[in-house]
Amino acid sequence: MNFDANYFYPVTAEIFVALMVLAIMLATAFARGIARGLAYALTQLTLVVAALMTLAALHGEPGTATNLFADETGSFINMFVQDRLGGVLKFAVYCTMMVALLYGRDYLAARRLDRPEFFLLALLATLGMMVMITANHLLVLYIGLEMMSLALYALVAFDRDSTRSTEAGMKYFVLGAVASGLLLYGMSMIYGATGTLDLPAVSQAVASQTDKREVLLFGLVFLVAGVSFKLGVVPFHMWVPDVYQGAPTAVTLIVSSAPKIAAFAFALRLLVGGLSGLAAHWQTMLMLVAAASIVLGNVAALAQRNIKRMLAYSGISHMGFMLLGLLSGIVEGKSGLTNDAYASAMFYAISYALMTLAAFGMVVLLSRSGFEAEDIEDFKGLNRRSPWFALMMLFVMFSMAGIPFFVGFFAKFAVLEAAVAAGYLWLAVLAVVMSVIGAFYYLRVVKLMYFEEPDVNAPLAAPPELQVLLSVNGLAIAVLGLMPGGLLHACGAAIEALHLGS
């Protein structure tokens, strides 16, 4: 067996997080009195150190984790890839998880849910996302996806005393298992047609394959179905509103943000990195999925009175927008379009995570008085109780609606520009029309905050760290809207380094 420590360099951060999961498990087992606080502190420390390790790796040379426990036949080659795309997206996942855990800490403590297992599951979900982002192999992609999904199933049902939470967890688990089965079956079809699980090798085989085209297309349908479920888009969206509403809000914070970034990476690695030769087919599928998601998400959100369900349907629409960039990348005869389109989708995924963190962070903030602030009516008169946080929520709602000049506007503008450049003018027009319709339910929240009398006149109380972080989150939405160039450049550089257009 050939062994070289350098083979593990691209997965250093993943190995560190996995070891820290074991270390935290042991530490909390022997520190019962301070286990809750210790687990939280070590989890945040793990994410910070992993982020620093990933940043350090960004300055190194791109490469792959080759010959991982390889024998003389060369098995397990190129299972992980180290590139700028993976570094940027993993860093975004770390930051998102750190913010989500800080938002939810006091919420969990008030309900006695801040047990060490919660933070261990959060770290395991993060590890699964990291594997998804850096995977260069169908089997590794699937392992990362299942690692993330199983941890999220448990988190959704973490409140065992809540019937609604356990029901949401069961729905998520059953539907997720079906989607995983579809995905695995599709991968088996691809393997049967190409004879390999390595994504670059799959790409080469698909490009040269002529006699097994039907098998490839058959597998592609199942793969797109699995990816659609993980993104939460139509027609595999049924779990999204029920899980968002049923899960504790601190868990909804996690489910609605970081996994979307990982799912984008999953789709990019799988469809673009491995199945670009079938782009004409999966683009058509994604086109229908994106259009249906944008329409259904915005229309269904209009009727919602529960803020978590409203944001869930809103998320379905936003993922439809993200797909506009993903499906606009491969167009024959248009050089330079590929990088711009995928960079716009990446920018949208990160921007959406930033916006949804702030949105559910506000729900957590209002829920601290001993009740779940899940109804839109709970935002009535927020300007009277706290003008500053009413302003932060206004930033979030305006950004999600795509109103200038917030980060959500530039995210939508970028993907619409990519769609128009790719020749999907009708799809861009549909998206704009539905955005105008969807602005109603965002502005309804703003109306309640500023033009309605509050049911409770007490000033809004919150821990200082939550107030500071939520303020930074809201201001970041505004600042990135005024100066989106830095994030856009980072996304563009990450995509360009993949050399997809060459």
Predicted confidence (pLDDT) per residue in 230-256, tens digit? 899 988 888 999 999 999 999 999 999
Q: What DSSP assignment string belongs to 317-365?
A: HHHHHHHHHHHTS--TT-TTHHHHHHHHHHHHHHHHHHHHHHHHHHHHH
Is residue 223 assigned to a domain? yes
The distance of Cα 249 from the centroid of its chain, to the nearest Å, equals: 16
Kindly report the number of other CB atoms within 10 A of residue 111's CB atom: 17
Say which residue the tokens 């098998």 belong to: 215
DSSP state of 233: -
Contact (Cβ atoms closer than 8 angstroms) between residue 392 and residue 471 = yes
Kindly report the number of other CB atoms within 10 A of residue 501's CB atom: 17
Is residue 501 assigned to a domain? no
Which range of 54-68, 329-343, 474-488 scores highest in mean pLDDT? It is 474-488
302-329 residues labelled b (16+ CB within 10 A) or e (exposed)? eebeebbbbbbbbbbbbbbbbbbbbbbb
Q: Backbone phi, then psi, for 62, in 5-degree steps?
A: -60, 150
Is residue 502 assigned to a domain? no
Contact (Cβ atoms closer than 8 angstroms) between residue 56 and residue 88 = no
Is residue 246 assigned to a domain? yes
Say which residue the tokens 């809004």 belong to: 460
Q: Please state, in angstroms and rounded to a whole number, the distance separating the CA atoms of residues 307 and 139.
A: 38
The distance of Cα 252 from the centroid of its chain, to the nearest Å, equals: 12
pLDDT at position 312, please? Answer: 94
Is residue 415 assigned to a domain? yes
H or E segment and range at residue 41: helix 35-58
Question: Identity (one letter) of the amino acid at 76?
Answer: F
Q: What DSSP assignment string belongs to 243-274?
A: HHHHS-HHHHHHHTSHHHHHHHHHHIIIIIII
Per-residue pLDDT at 75 exceeds 70: no
Structural domain including 375 reads 5-496
pLDDT tens, position by position, 273-292: 888 888 888 999 999 999 99
pLDDT tens, position by position, 161-177: 888 999 999 999 999 99
* Mean pLDDT (whole number) for 219-237: 91
| Number of domains within the chain | 1
Contact (Cβ atoms closer than 8 angstroms) between residue 85 and residue 495 = yes
pLDDT tens, position by position, 390-426: 999 999 999 999 998 899 999 999 999 999 988 899 9
pLDDT at position 5, please? Answer: 59
Q: Please state, in angstroms and rounded to a whole number, the distance separating the CA atoms of residues 468 and 145.
A: 33
Say which residue the tokens 């939810």 belong to: 104
pLDDT at position 72, please? Answer: 35
Is residue 491 assigned to a domain? yes
Question: Identity (one letter) of the amino acid at 273?
Answer: G
pLDDT tens, position by position, 323-366: 999 988 876 645 457 788 899 999 999 999 999 999 999 999 88
Is residue 220 assigned to a domain? yes
Say which residue the tokens 């700028």 belong to: 84
* Mean pLDDT (whole number) for 37-56: 92
State the average pLDDT for the chain: 87
Is residue 267 assigned to a domain? yes
Q: Among candidates 149, 147, 131, which has minimal Cα distance to 65?
A: 131
171-186 residues labelled b (16+ CB within 10 A) or e (exposed)? bbbebbeebbebbbbb
Q: Backbone phi, then psi, for 356, in 5-degree steps?
A: -70, -30
pLDDT at position 73, please? Answer: 34
What distances in angstroms separate CA 219 from CA 184, 290, 441, one per listed residue? 9, 20, 39
Say which residue the tokens 């601190």 belong to: 250
Q: Please state, in angstroms and rounded to a whole number, the distance separating the CA atoms of residues 36 and 328.
A: 46
Whole-model pTM?
A: 0.93
The distance of Cα 265 from the centroid of its chain, to the nearest Å, equals: 9
pLDDT tens, position by position, 434-473: 999 999 999 999 999 999 888 777 777 778 888 899 999 9
Contact (Cβ atoms closer than 8 angstroms) between residue 246 and residue 164 = yes
